[in-house]
């Protein structure tokens, strides 16, 4: 019989929604979960393999992060690593692969930023990250030097302990494991879209385009739409979203690993970088670009009206947008990226301003715009502070959580799952095996990280 009431309903089967479903089914004694996803499969938007940069963000190459954010990111990344390592080898290799990483400083200003970033505290967190000279850079990534002005100064931070992740396959694996749970029944409704959430006595009423359900607790993991639904229930009034779209270009394979560029601390998005593609070893991807769109989802023009409602146009919003967009670091990036999506000129500008800083010998004819690929990073605006929030945000209410997850949200999926469960068990009468969670997903990596990269 069609079930209508659930203890927990989760909206959205991206990497965050599936990670929460997995963690609830494995580490709690919850009896039933309803997972509603408007697409026909998991991870069809930002969490899809080709729509993000596939980086496991551990904090070594993110010069825009503070040391606190670095430590938090590293812990979250380790959870994904530990989860993947617990899988059969073949499956693990499909989901995650080791890949060297570097962050490249070009010229005096960037080198100074990099030197400042490579502080004793940073070295303490990452004993295996080396500062390398121009010659060593050429050893690991020959194409970074070929065609470059010999007088141009270069320094990099380098790690062999990087990883690339297929977040689609990771999501799939989370869901498959959840479906195998013997104690938790997981009902998955694909191709079904949440239309309306209402609070009804001690329950939530969940109306979709296909049915009507109730749940004791709702977890919204619907990307930027989480804020839309939060606002429909009166939550997150002081928040808005700056939708930062990201596109990719690609070339034949010219890099051995990930090459990030120096970005100033406090800027919420990484500068354009070069990455291998876990789904296609023959290419190198360059991106993501940084474009501001009035949409909640990429390639979903109808989400424009919902974007306006999520933003909430009032005096505070206008002042916040004005302050954010006039901040030199952000406005410069947005202006520079503005033309990259234009036919022809876009490619020329992208090569000149971005790609040549990484691989100087590449020309516009060597790269192509990856049509239909990429996503939108829902950067949260704190309207009280008139500023962008670094990273994700969970808005909590009575028996409800709304997860909004810009980068590095895919890396943080299990860490989000943990904090969601910690909040959820306060309201529901269920037990969380936090020792088991910690033993499986937090503890195993600590030793191996410390002993890594000895050479």
Ligand X SMILES: Cc1cc2nc3c(=O)[nH]c(=O)nc-3n(C[C@H](O)[C@H](O)[C@H](O)COP(=O)(O)OP(=O)(O)OC[C@H]3O[C@@H](n4cnc5c(N)ncnc54)[C@H](O)[C@@H]3O)c2cc1C
Residues near ligand X (CB under 6 A) are: 11-17, 36-39, 43-47, 52-55, 57, 167, 193-194, 221-223, 225, 246, 288, 374-377, 403, 405-411
Count the neighbouring beta carbons within 10 Å of the beta carbon of residue 10.
Answer: 29
Selection from 280, 243, 267 nearest residue 374 by Cα: 243
Judged by beta carbon, residue 339 or residue 360, the one nearer ligand X is: 339
Q: How far is the CB of 278 from ligand X (least distance, A)?
A: 11
Minimum CB–partner distance for residue 328 and ligand X (Å):
23
Q: How far is the CB of 210 from ligand X (least distance, A)?
A: 11
What is the C-alpha to C-alpha distance for residues 235 and 227, in angstroms, rounded to an integer? 8
Q: Which is nearer to ligand X, 361 or 396 (CB)?
A: 396
Q: How far is CA 421 from CA 30, 81, 84, 181, 432, in A?
A: 11, 20, 20, 17, 7
Long-range contacts of 200-209 (CB under 8 A, 24+ apart): 202/399, 203/5, 204/9, 204/399, 204/400, 206/9, 206/11, 206/34, 206/36, 208/36
The answer to whether residues 368 and 355 touch, using CB atoms and an 8 Å cutoff, is no
How many CB atoms are located within 10 Å of the residue 204 CB? 21
Q: Quick check: bond before 412 cis, omega within 30? A: no
> Alpha-carbon distance 176 to 171, whole Å?
9
- Determine the Cα angle at 47 with ends 42 and 50, to 5°: 105
- Which CB atom, from 54 or from 214, has the smaller least distance to ligand X? 54
Of the two residues 38 and 101, which places its CB atom closer to ligand X in the complex?
Answer: 38
Please give the Cα distance from 285 to 374 (Å, whole number): 11
Residue 88: other Cβ atoms inside 10 A:
8
Respond yes or no on whether the N-terminal peptide bond of residue 408 is cis (omega within 30° of 0).
yes
155 or 420: CB nearest ligand X: 420
Interacting residues of 324 by C-beta distance below 8 A, sequence separation 6+: 242, 330, 381, 386, 387, 388
- Residue 97 in contact with residue 164, Cβ under 8 Å? yes
CB of 28 to ligand X, least distance (A): 20
307: left (phi over 0), alpha (psi -120 to 50) or beta: alpha
Nearer to ligand X, 36 or 145 (CB): 36
Residue nearer to ligand X on the CB measure, 346 or 408? 408
Q: In angstroms, give the least distance from the CB of 367 to ligand X.
A: 17
* Phi, psi for residue 375 in degrees, rounded to 5: -155, -165
Contact 290, 282 (CB under 8 A): no
Q: How far is the CB of 451 from ligand X (least distance, A)?
A: 25
For the bound state, the minimum distance from the C-beta of residue 13 to ligand X, rounded and expressed in Å, comes to: 5
């Amino acid at each position: 019989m069609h079930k209508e009431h659930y203890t927990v309903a989760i909206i959205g089967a991206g990497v965050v929604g599936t990670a929460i479903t997995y963690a609830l089914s494995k580490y709690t004694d919850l009896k039933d979960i309803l997972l509603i996803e408007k697409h026909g499969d998991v991870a069809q938007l930002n969490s899809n393999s080709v729509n993000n940069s596939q980086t496991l963000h551990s904090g070594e190459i993110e010069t825009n992060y503070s040391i606190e954010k670095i430590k938090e990111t590293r812990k979250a990344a380790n959870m994904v690593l530990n989860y993947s390592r617990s899988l059969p080898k073949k499956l693990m290799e499909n989901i995650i692969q080791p890949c060297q990483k570097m962050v490249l400083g070009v010229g005096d200003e960037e080198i100074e930023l990099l030197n400042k970033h490579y502080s004793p505290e940073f070295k303490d967190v990452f004993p295996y990250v080396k500062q390398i000279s121009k010659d060593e850079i050429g050893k690991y990534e020959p194409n970074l030097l070929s065609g470059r002005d010999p007088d141009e100064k270069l320094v990099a931070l380098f790690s062999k302990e990087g990883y690339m992740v297929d977040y689609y396959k990771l999501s799939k694996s989370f869901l498959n494991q959840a479906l195998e749970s013997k104690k938790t029944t997981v009902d998955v409704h694909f191709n079904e879209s949440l239309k309306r959430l209402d609070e009804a006595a001690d329950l939530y009423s969940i109306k979709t385009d296909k049915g009507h359900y109730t749940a004791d607790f709702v977890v919204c993991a619907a990307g930027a739409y989480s804020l839309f639904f939060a606002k429909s229930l009166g939550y997150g009034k002081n928040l808005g979203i700056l939708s930062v779209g990201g596109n990719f270009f690609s070339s034949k394979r010219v890099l051995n690993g990930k090459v990030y560029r120096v970005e100033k601390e406090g800027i919420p998005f990484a500068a354009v970088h070069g990455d291998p593609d876990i789904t296609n070893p023959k290419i190198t991807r360059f991106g993501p670009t940084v474009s501001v769109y009035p949409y909640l989802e990429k390639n979903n023009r109808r989400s424009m009206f919902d974007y306006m409602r999520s933003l909430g146009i009032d005096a505070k919003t206008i002042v916040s947008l004005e302050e954010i967009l006039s901040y030199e670091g952000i406005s410069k990036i947005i202006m520079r990226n503005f033309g990259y999506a234009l036919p022809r000129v876009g490619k020329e500008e992208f090569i000149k301003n971005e790609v040549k800083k990484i691989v100087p010998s590449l020309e516009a004819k060597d790269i192509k715009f990856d049509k239909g690929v990429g996503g939108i990073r829902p950067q949260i605006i704190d309207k009280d502070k008139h500023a962008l929030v670094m990273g994700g945000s969970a808005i909590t209410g009575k028996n409800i959580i709304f997860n909004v997850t810009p980068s590095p949200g895919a890396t943080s999926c299990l860490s989000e799952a943990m904090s969601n469960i910690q909040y959820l068990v306060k309201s529901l009468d269920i037990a969380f095996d936090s020792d088991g969670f910690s033993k499986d997903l937090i503890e195993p990596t600590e030793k191996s990280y410390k002993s890594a990269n000895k050479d």
